[in-house]
């Protein structure tokens, strides 16, 4: 089947140009200047599918490098399955996710990866890959890292937070980073000082400070900055490339920017919640409402200027990618587990459906440029996680993961509007976006078009990833 997309403006990280796009099967085969020859007219007449993108942007399908479908956490599990979560992602213009297989202490990382493959098999509406969480650094897991790299799982995540659950001490981190340096794998880090956080949480509960607001104050920015600096120093010592996930504090980003300025392979990911939401407005909502926005790292104070600084670091390039850390929980029956004790609220926000829209609003508001939008949401995540140029670019030879985006359209986010995630609330209820996802193609197949979902579970394929292509 051939598809011809005409009249649109193709956007890449390096520029925008009016080009027609020819898709044959599941790949892009040509970009054509409109009106340059008679070829375009012939293709418009003979292609099986004709898509008019006049006045719209033609961009690569979004690559969300950080999701948690069906992840067990705090006595419950993330409410989105691979089926519901990837369907919601498709609605929002994301055509590839990279989820996390979870090794619990005492288990084998090979077995945990097999378990996540089983969860995702036949369920995904879009393509998917996996990172591997190492919940217990020992000789077996270190040997297993090399095996997983050969299987296309080329990034591994450690936690400096959550003692007794996922926590790794500095010695364990050092050993894992040494292995990453030897294999070329990317080391991902949840950078918060979990030992100190546990003390502050215990003290807050003892004082009777049990509301969701105190989740944020007990995970102070100083503990994110300190852990980020420590991770950078260990990475420098070992030579391992370091990718710090969900950075929320401007001080932590300053540490990363300094390391990058010195030529170190250190990369920062942030998420829409840290750009738009805040400690005061969301976590500080009346009654128990703030639980809806409990996530870790936490939302930061708008009064301290974290949000504006994160946008600035996106513009400077020190924020490498924008992902979601999509880890949804329903308010009823899940977030409510923490009534009277914020430490028992499952940590996570659902936004896999809204990332592309929320970041485009940053373009409209003058926060970032059009090309930077595509770069942080599509191209650089594909490069970062070894999927480029198959993913993340509209170019001949790439997978035909394409989004037709209407800058003159409008999108209202809310459970009764554009919400397709398996949640009973929206973290962005009532937010209005000056743009709209009109059509989504995954490997040449139209899966969303004109407000209609045309995809299916099982269309998505596992992406066997190469080593990161974003290293110096």
Q: Residue 16 is part of a domain; what is its CATH number?
A: 2.30.40.10
One domain for residues 198 and 239: yes
Q: Identify whether 354 is part of a domain.
A: yes
Q: Tokens 């990833």 appear where?
A: 465
Question: What residues of the chain score a pLDDT lower than 50?
Answer: none
Of residues 429, 419, 451, 308, the one with CA closest to residue 366:
308
Regarding whether 146 and 54 lie in a shared domain, the answer is no
Q: Which residues contact 465 (CB under 8 A, 6 or more apart)?
A: 98, 129, 152, 153, 154, 155, 385, 386, 387
- Please report the pLDDT score of residue 36 as a whole number: 65
C-beta separation of 291 from 336 below 8 A: yes
List, in order, residues 6 or more apart from 46 with CB less than 8 Å away: 2
Q: Which residues pair with 58 in a beta bridge?
A: 10, 404
pLDDT in tens, 395-410: 999 999 999 999 999 9
Q: Are residues 54 and 96 in the same domain?
A: no
Number of domains composing the chain: 2
pLDDT on residue 104: 83
- Co-location of 198 and 341 in the same domain: yes
280: CATH: 3.20.20.140
107 shares its domain with 218: yes
Question: Are 297 and 306 in contact, with CB atoms under 8 Å apart?
Answer: no
Check if the beta carbon of residue 295 is closer than 8 Å to that of residue 349.
Answer: yes
Residue percentage of the chain with pLDDT more than 90: 94
Q: Is residue 467 assigned to a domain?
A: no
Residue 461 counted as domain residue: no
Residue 418 within a domain: no
Taking only Cα atoms into account, the Rg of the chain, rounded to an integer number of angstroms, comes to 21
Do 31 and 66 sit in the same domain of this protein?
A: no
Identify the pLDDT of residue 425: 97
Q: How many residues does the chain have?
A: 472
pLDDT computed for residue 418 by the predictor: 86
Q: Are residues 170 and 68 in the same domain?
A: yes
Q: Which residue has the tokens 């929206």?
A: 426
Same structural domain for residues 55 and 66? no
Instruction: Map residue 153 onto helix, strand or coil.
Output: coil
215 lies in a domain?
Answer: yes
86 shares a domain with 128 = yes
Given this model, what pLDDT does residue 40 score?
Answer: 65
Does residue 426 form part of some domain? no
Taking alpha carbons only, the member of 330, 337, 304, 303 closest to residue 210 is: 337
Both 35 and 90 in one domain: the answer is no
Nearest-angstrom CA–CA distance, 15 and 13: 6
Show Cβ contacts of residue 199 under 8 Å, excluding neighbours closer than 6 positions. none
Domain that holds residue 117: 62-384
The 10s digit of each residue's pLDDT in 187-202 is 999 999 999 999 999 9
- Is residue 367, in this structure, part of any structural domain at all? yes
Q: Which of 211, 219, 351 is nearest to 298 (CA)?
A: 219
439 and 367 inside one domain: no
Give the pLDDT score at 394: 98
What does the pLDDT read at residue 169?
Answer: 97
Q: Check residue 5 and give its pLDDT.
A: 97
Cβ 104 vs Cβ 115: under 8 Å: no
Q: Is residue 427 part of a domain?
A: no
Q: To 10 degrees, what angle do helices 170-183 and 221-238 make?
A: 50
- Could you give the residue ranges of the DSSP H alpha helices within 13-138? 39-46, 82-91, 109-120
Q: Are residues 231 and 319 in the same domain?
A: yes
Give the pair of three-digit tokens for residue 355. 């990332």
**Which residue in 329, 196, 332, 310 sits closest to 251, CA to CA?**
310
pTM: 0.97
């Amino acid at each position: 089947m051939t598809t011809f997309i005409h009249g649109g403006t193709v956007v890449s990280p390096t520029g925008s140009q009016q080009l027609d796009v020819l898709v044959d099967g599941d790949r892009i085969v040509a970009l054509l200047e409109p009106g340059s020859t008679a070829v375009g007219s012939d293709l418009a007449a003979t292609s099986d599918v004709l898509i008019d993108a006049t006045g719209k942007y033609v961009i690569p399908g979004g690559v969300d490098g950080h999701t948690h479908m069906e992840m067990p956490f705090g006595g419950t599990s993330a409410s989105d399955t691979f089926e519901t979560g990837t369907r919601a992602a498709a609605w929002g213009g994301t055509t590839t996710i990279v989820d996390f297989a979870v090794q619990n202490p005492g288990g084998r990382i090979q077995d945990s990866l097999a378990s996540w493959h089983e969860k995702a098999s036949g369920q995904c509406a879009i393509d998917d890959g996996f990172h591997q969480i190492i919940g217990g650094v020992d000789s077996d897991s270190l040997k297993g890292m090399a095996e997983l790299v050969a299987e296309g799982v080329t990034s591994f995540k450690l936690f400096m937070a959550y003692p007794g659950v996922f926590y790794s001490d500095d010695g364990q981190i050092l050993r894992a980073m040494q292995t990453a340096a030897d294999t070329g794998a990317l080391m991902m880090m949840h950078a918060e000082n979990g030992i100190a956080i546990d003390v502050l949480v215990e003290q807050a509960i003892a004082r009777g400070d049990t509301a969701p607001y105190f989740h944020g104050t007990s995970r102070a920015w100083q503990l994110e900055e300190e852990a980020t600096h420590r991770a950078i120093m260990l990475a420098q010592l070992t030579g391992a490339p370091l990718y710090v996930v969900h950075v929320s504090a401007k001080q932590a980003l300053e540490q990363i920017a300094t390391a990058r300025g010195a030529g170190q392979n250190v990369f920062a990911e942030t998420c829409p919640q840290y750009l738009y939401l805040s400690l005061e407005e969301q976590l500080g909502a009346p009654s128990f409402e703030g639980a809806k926005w409990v996530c870790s790292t936490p939302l930061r104070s708008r009064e301290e200027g974290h949000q504006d600084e994160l946008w600035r670091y996106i513009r400077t390039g020190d924020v490498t990618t924008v992902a979601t850390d999509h880890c949804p929980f329903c308010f009823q029956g899940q977030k409510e587990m923490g009534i009277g004790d914020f430490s028992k609220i499952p940590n996570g926000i659902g936004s896999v459906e809204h990332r592309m829209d929320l970041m485009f609003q940053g373009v409209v508001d003058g926060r970032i440029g059009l090309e930077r939008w595509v770069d942080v949401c599509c191209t650089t995540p594909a490069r970062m996680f070894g999927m480029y140029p198959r993913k993340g670019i509209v170019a001949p030879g790439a997978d035909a993961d394409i989004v037709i985006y209407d800058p003159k359209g409008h999108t209202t986010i809310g459970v009764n509007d554009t919400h397709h995630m398996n949640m009973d609330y929206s973290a962005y209820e009532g937010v209005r976006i000056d743009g709209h996802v009109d059509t989504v193609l995954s490997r040449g197949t139209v899966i969303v078009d004109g407000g209609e979902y045309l995809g299916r579970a099982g269309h998505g394929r596992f992406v066997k990833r190469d080593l990161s292509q974003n290293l110096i």
